[in-house]
Structure 1
Amino acid sequence: MSVGSARAGPRGSPTDGGLIRRSRWRAENVDARVLLVEDDPSIRETTAMGLRSVGHTVDAAADGPEGLQRFRAHRPDVVVLDVMLPRMSGLELCRTIRSESSVPVLMLTARSDTDDVVLGLEAGADDYIRKPFAMAELVARVGAALRRSQRTDASDRITLGDVTIDPVGFTVTRDGQEVALSNTEFRLLLELAQRPGQVFTRELLLERVWGYDYLGDSRLVDVAVQRLRAKIEPDPARPTTVVTIRGAGYKAVR
């Protein structure tokens, strides 16, 4: 059953018909602190229940200011927030959180407009989920975001021109100055940098960086590359470190 649909309401199944198996989930994932910001009481309750059913600790807020206060007080491992929030929009909340932290942010949206989705990604969100959504899908994406934030696959520093990547320290510098990247931006840069010169299709990057089947939605990759370039390229309009291969994808250049 879907969460956020008229049929689901407060009766939406947080375990999605048994698709979530607690023992398997806990064997593969570390229990995490999740901040959930959702103004609809029934969706908030159902979603929180579903996340708790797989072992996560959930701190729930009903509007933007309350969500920001709880974020600063508790420093969660991942944030799930609705785009349409009272008193402070989800986009504004996401921008504020991103300015203070690289914590993974997943946005929930009932809108189907492509521009609205892109605005969320440009605000700093790592992922978005359309309402109504299956609880199993949200749990899977939260897990993927957590694994991305906790794991690196290399130990040696990598240099791309004036950009240096430290996989162990989880840091990036340009001309000796540290660059603040989100977890997704860091994973994207690291994936490309580990194989300089190799062309990565958008589909391959979705699989390797996001770790989930996003049904070919390449906007996640394009917006993440755009945000990354704004931080590491001297001239983002004429990139020299992460370049586009027309009709194919992206590659890193030493």
Structure 2
Amino acid sequence: MAKDRILIIDDDQQICKILRDYFNYEEFEVFVAHDGQDGLEKIKELAPDIIILDLMLPEKNGLDICRELKPHNQIPIIILSAKNRENDRIKGLELGADDYVTKPFSPREVVLRTKNLLRRINREDNKEELEFAGLIINREQRMVKVKGEEISLAPKEFDLLWQLASSPKTVFSREKLLELVWDFDY
């Protein structure tokens, strides 16, 4: 089974090292970016399963990253920030963050919040049927209907369609699709 991929975007290298160690111990695949622009590029390149995001970053701040990502993407985001005032937390959550943790923090708590968020999202992803305008995809029966007419797909074609349709606002890299659909490990 593929490991969950986590991207930590924080300019504090010590925090990144601590979190990397904790997430590696929990068998996550961990990637790090130390500025907002590099973080955005890695999001597009890696298609992580979850993002830990600092707000005060060089190049592009965390709120701008949330603003840019959330309309097009369903990758969960946990903000990790020294900004601990209520209006800062509310602003981050309004812009689409799924959780907000203030510094100083417990690395174990961040790992548990991450695991809980991924578990909740995975439960939601376990739907058996998806419906779009004129398109029905049933995972259990591996059946696809377009405007009421059943169409035949090869097994990998069905798997690819399901993967894309079940995450309609997520952009996947070629490598991520190969990993998810063909079980290639990069």
Q: Does 1:136 align with 2:108?
A: yes
Aligned residue number for residue 83 of structure 1 = 55
Matches within 5 A, 1:39-50: 39-50=11-22
Any runs of at least 4 consecutive aligned residues in structure 1 with deviations exceeding 6 A, and if so which? 168-172
Q: Does 1:127 align with 2:99?
A: yes
Q: TM-score, normalised by structure 1?
A: 0.49
Q: Does 1:112 align with 2:89?
A: no
Q: 1:59 aligns with which of 5, 11, 31?
A: 31
Whole-angstrom CA distance in 2 between matches of 1:156 and 1:100: 22
Aligned residue number for residue 3 of structure 2 = 31
- How much does 1:41 deviate? 1.0
**Matched positions, count:** 140
- How much does 1:100 deviate? 2.6
Structure 1 alignment gaps of length 5 or more: 1-28, 158-165, 173-178, 182-254
Q: 1:95 aligns with which of 51, 60, 67?
A: 67
Q: TM-score, normalised by structure 2?
A: 0.66
Whole-angstrom CA distance in 2 between matches of 1:80 and 1:33: 11
Is the partner of 2:20 in helix, strand or coil? helix
Q: 2:119 aligns with which of 139, 147, 152?
A: 147
Quickly say closer, same or farther: Cα 1:156–1:62, change in 2 above 3 A: closer
Quickly say closer, same or farther: Cα 1:155–1:74, change in 2 above 3 A: closer
Q: 1:69 aligns with which of 25, 41, 44?
A: 41
Whole-angstrom CA distance in 1 between matches of 2:2 and 2:169: 25
**Structure ranking higher on relative contact order (CA contacts 8 Å, 6+ apart):** 2
Is the partner of 1:100 in helix, strand or coil? coil
Deviations along 1:147-172, one digit per CA (max 9) or x if unpaired, are: 12211376578xxxxxxxx9x77989
Whole-angstrom CA distance in 2 between matches of 1:154 and 1:99: 22
Aligned residue number for residue 152 of structure 2 = none
Whole-angstrom CA distance in 2 between matches of 1:154 and 1:71: 26
Structure 2 alignment gaps of length 5 or more: 131-136, 140-161, 171-186
- How much does 1:109 deviate? 1.3
